[in-house]
Structure 1
Amino acid sequence: MGIETVLDMALSVHPDRVVVGRRSSGLTCVRLDDLASRGATVLREHDARHAVFVGVNGPALPVLTFATARAGIPIAPLNYRLPTDQLASLVAQLDRPVVIADPVYAEKLTGVADTVLTTDEFLGAATSAERSEFTAAGDDATAVVLFTSGTTSAPKGVLLRHRNLLSYLFNTVEFASAGEDQAALVSTPPYHIAGMGAVLSNLYSGRRMVYLPDFSPQGWLDLVREEGVTSAMVVPTMLARVVEHLKGAPARTPALASLAYGGARMPQPVLERALAAFPDTGFVNAYGLTETSSTIAVLGPKDHRDAIADPELRARLSSVGRVVPGMEVQIRADDDTTVLPDGATGLLWVRGAQVSGEYMGKGTVLDENGWFPTRDRARLEDGYLYIGGRADDTIIRGGENIAPAEIEDVLVRHDGVREVAVVGLPDDEWGERICAAIVPEPGVALEPEQIRTWCRARLRGSRTPDDVIFVDDLPRTPTGKLVRRDLVSQVESAASV
């Protein structure tokens, strides 16, 4: 059984429901099924072993997702923002790829594979192809190849098998639970696990998918209002831009019942302003990794409401919530074997059927008992999971381990600080020195010593930044993840001036 089962199940209960696109012109379940089956024929005719997708959100993504499943090959969505040479390098790692790209990207991809089709050409061919019956590859076959964002190292191709994706879906989503009036706005890109997960989870629940190809705060708000969007998923930078755009005014999105965020750390001041702007919306923090087929833990709407209402619970807003059904977690010491008690900070390991932990050309990194090393530092407290950042980001100053997030969470509450990131730089005396890169609020003049005094009053002296620099922006991926290697270079250059 593969992910094509999701489409088969949806087809059996609401064949005529619009499941992709706008209410007035979207694809019904029957039409999606037909295009996917005929699209599988197109892929077979090109003798494809991988279908590469390079494009923005739109109807082509769900069609291609289920066409590849029915053809028994993986889909590999790539970051369309990458330069041609990097895209070509990723395509070259895939066996017999057929590239399907939006017209604006197809031209620059000429020659990277034997077959390069525009999305229009693929959908046109799928419309006229014969509908053939194929035997799916089975639940142990690879369904999706997603390349990691490469924020700390070269991108790696994560292999997500059908069974990984279905396990996540069956454990966390209720089949056919959505009413016909429910719609999900998908603005996370196809090459992100949340973008691929949205295709499966929304179709499985029966929720119509509305796509926003190019994000802008006003465009996002307009689409939510026009299409009666009831749920949406954003990354923190998107939510920050929406909140800033509103300038303290209410969002006025009465249909929006659920707003999920994830993919990177959410600054708590941004979250608190968002909760005020969307007073009738239930907020959900979803924490997961590409290697885990999406969500590991969820902080739900009630958790958010309780934390805002009770100052003693406010700290829970900085957690990622409780572990989802079907998943197990352990906090281990740096020796990778000693399991730490609740409240202790260590390395997060996870286990469950949804976990892949497998990389193309590299094999699995699961230990002998099936545990996956996330490389995130974390702690469990009262059943809530708190993420302290990547283990590689830890600053070791004078033999003391310091999580950048601990300092960032304090500095971002300064009224003059818009964004902040903390990194470590080599230091002859202390091993590493703490450097804070700050994006000031527009029109605000800050001084390094002012920032150091603020931090020293709220944290131990050893956590006070040794260096403070001011920058126009922080280097981030399109999904909001901080590119620390680029920031370190930026900070080193500023510190040497």
Structure 2
Amino acid sequence: MQLTQALHRAAQLYPERTATVFRERRRTYRESAERVARLAGGLHNLGITKGERVSVLAVNSDHYQEAMLACWWLGAVLNPVNTRWSAAEIAYSLDDCGATLLVVDDQHLPLLPGILAGVERRPMLLHAGMAQTPSGALCMERLLASAEPIADSRSGGDDLAVIMYTGGTTGRPKGVMLSHAALLITVLLRLAEQAPLAKLVGLNVAPMFHIAGLAVAYARVVSGDTNVYIPGFEPVELLETLCREQVNETLLVPTMLQALLVHPRFAEFDLGCLRHILYGASPISSALLDKAMAQLPQADFMQVYGLTENTGLVSFNPPANHGAEARAAGLHRSVGRPVCGQWVKVVDSQGEQVPRRAIGELLVSGPTVMQGYWNKPEETAKVLKDGWLCTGDAAYMDEDGHLFIVDRVKDMIISGGENVYSAEVENVLATHPAVALCAVIGIPHDTWGEAVHAAVVLKPGAEVGAAELQAHCRAQIAGYKCPKSVEFREAMPLSAAGKILKRDLREPHWVGR
């Protein structure tokens, strides 16, 4: 269970196969393995030893992959830093995990003064980029050139591989501790569900500080395939890269997929090369999935459901569940069946397992569950109970074992004593042709306790009133579930992973309540 074995294998079996592409820069697996061994040697010369934390503040690139693998080669612990955080939030995470070294790219050099002013313990700095290396930092390319390659430490098993901070949507971010075995098993279980394409070329646009982005990129090292990187989600660069590199697989979060499909230049690009589209990280509406499948008919759609605390994999919804017959049965709205190796159960508030189709909280157990939250034993104890991870997702399982996520437990609305699952209402709203994005929350109501409230972003040029949207909902779901009020917004508050921040939507309504 050693994460670096995949790189050794790829360099041995496919030395001249392209390992990474970043714009004009291309490297083979032979070159990649040599650079990783040298970078690990350079980190060793800086005094980085097994178990020390190396933080990476960077956009997606081949340098990110090299830093990730060099950490594991050396036996150090990778800490991917959320690039959307403020300098103060980044400083908190560096202090919290005790980072010895911070790798920073060109795009994030302007944040350095604020980060360094906010940390209690200043880490060493390693600059990975083409700009001038700032004073007080080392240049990654110079470090590589001057270092001798070192032997792989062969760290693995229960050794800590990654500390990945949660988005911090509810209080201070928590560092999720993931082992070498957890990440490798996650990837192997995922590949067992859906074999990789022959000569796979995968585009990485989901951020590497998110478990989905990191795991998918590492999976391509395991299969000896090509990782194409772009710095972030920009529709035109994404479309151009898909065509130029003949990409046949990518992972998109629903907000990215939506923005791509409505982009005015989408129809200019021939995407016949794209065969696999994975989606996940947040719920997808049936309307968006319908549109995506209609505009990309050559692609197989598949969903990966998981959470950072479970290394990103609980269940897998395969292409077969997106076909016409399965869609008629509603299986495209499920997150699939639990993957081999994962134990799941749905329980009530007393922790007792509920019957099939009854809604409760989804619990997970298995080899991919985190070791805990870094230095937060009390927070860990709240979610790890008797060997089970409490996901916080309200779900049910049908008679054939398909899981359906109906809401976050904390997002459930109780109006007049009735439970309203926001995801159900959002799915109905999203089918209206004028709606681009929507989110449903509970807001205070003197009589019912909570009232259903919808926040809506309209498609460009679309016009619709609250009354029409409410009528649209009443035609499909019970009256008590329909929004009692509608708020039209220019944009939604989004987390770094592309999830709508319902906390930010609720806050103005609950001030002082």
* TM category, shorter: over 0.9
- Whether 1:264 aligns to 2:282 is yes
For each residue in 1:88-128, what CA deviation from the matched residue of structure 2 results, as whole angstroms up to 9, or x when unmatched?
11111122420000123134224343311211322331232
3-state SS in 1 of match to 2:457: strand
Following TM superposition, by how much is the alpha carbon of 1:178 offset from its aligned partner in structure 2, in angstroms? Answer: 5.7
Q: CA deviation at 1:316?
A: 1.7
Q: Deviations over 1:431-472 (max 9, x none)?
A: 211111112233333332322222222211211222222111
Q: Identify the residue that residue 349 of structure 1 maps to in structure 2.
A: 363
TM-score between both structures, scaled by the size of structure 1: 0.93
**Counterpart Cα distance in 2 of 1:426 and 1:40:** 55
Matches of 2:93 and 2:196, distance apart in 1: 37
Change (3 A) 1:367 1:108: closer
User: Mean alpha-carbon deviation: is it higher for 341-350 or for 239-248?
Assistant: 239-248
1:56-109 per-residue CA deviation (whole Å, 9 max, x = no partner) reads 010111111111112111111111221111111111112242000012313422
Match of 1:11 in 2: 11
Q: Distance in 2 between matches of 1:73 and 1:290?
A: 20
Q: Give distance in 2, aligned partners of 1:33 and 1:453.
A: 60
Secondary structure in 2 matching 1:317: helix
CA spacing shift, 1:8–1:134, aligned 2, 3 Å: closer
Aligned counterpart, 2:134: none
* Distance in 1 (alpha carbons) for counterparts of 2:437 and 2:462: 13
Q: Is the 8 A contact 1:178 1:207 kept in 2?
A: no
Structure 2 partner of 1:334? 349
* Correspondent of 1:380 among 397, 402, 411: 397
How many Å apart are 1:360 and its aligned residue?
Answer: 0.5
Aligned positions of 1:233-244 closer than 5 A: 233-244=251-262
Give me the whole-angstrom Cα distance separating, in 1, the residues matched to 2:110 and 2:328.
56
Residues 192-219 of structure 1 deviation map (CA, whole Å, 9 limit, x = unaligned): 0012112320011121000011322222
Give the SS at the match of 1:269: helix
1:59 correspondence with 2:62: yes
* 2:10 counterpart letter in structure 1: A
- Counterparts of 1:57-206 in structure 2 under 5 Å? 57-110=60-113, 111=116, 112=119, 113-120=122-129, 121-173=139-191, 181-206=199-224
* CA positional deviation for 1:251: 5.7
Q: Does 1:317 align with 2:332?
A: yes
TM superposition shift of 1:261: 0.8
Distance of aligned partners of 1:38 and 1:249 in 2 relative to their CA distance in 1, 3 Å threshold: closer
Cα distance between partner residues in 2 of 1:251 and 1:287: 29
Measure the CA separation in 2 of the matches of 1:452 and 1:30.
Answer: 59
Whole-Å separation in 2 of the counterparts to 1:174 and 1:341? 29
Cα contact 2:246–2:274 (8 A) shared by 1: yes
Aligned residue pairs total 489
The alpha carbon displacement at 1:408 in A equals 0.9
Instruction: Select between 61-70 and 241-250 the one with higher mean Cα deviation.
Output: 241-250
**Deviation at residue 298 of structure 1 after TM alignment:** 1.4
Asked if the contact 1:38–1:126 (Cα under 8 Å) also holds between the matched residues in 2, the reply is yes
Structure 1 unaligned segments of length 5 or more: list them: none
| Equivalent position of 1:359 in the other structure | 373
Counterpart-to-counterpart distance in 1, 2:108 and 2:32: 24
1:107 to 1:252, Cα distance in 2 relative to 1, 3 A = closer
- Structure 2's unaligned 5+ residue stretches are 130-138
Matched, 1:411 2:423: no
Equivalents in 1 of 2:433, 2:98: separation in Å? Answer: 52
Instruction: Give the equivalent residue in structure 1 for 2:28.
Output: 28
Amino acid at match of 2:275: A
Cα distance, 1:444–1:17 mapped onto 2, change above 3 Å: closer
Secondary structure (helix, strand or coil) at the match of 1:26 reads: strand
Shift of 1:24: 7.6
Tell me how far 1:10 sits from its aligned partner. Answer: 1.9
The residue that corresponds to 1:427 in the other structure is 445
Distance 1:156 1:401 in 2: 30
1:25 to partner: Cα distance: 4.4
Going from structure 1 to structure 2, the CA distance change for 1:123 and 1:287 (only over 3 Å counts) comes to farther
Query: Could you tell me which amino acid in structure 2 is paired with residue 374 of structure 1?
Result: T
- 3-state SS of paired residue (2:492): coil
Shift of 1:367: 4.6
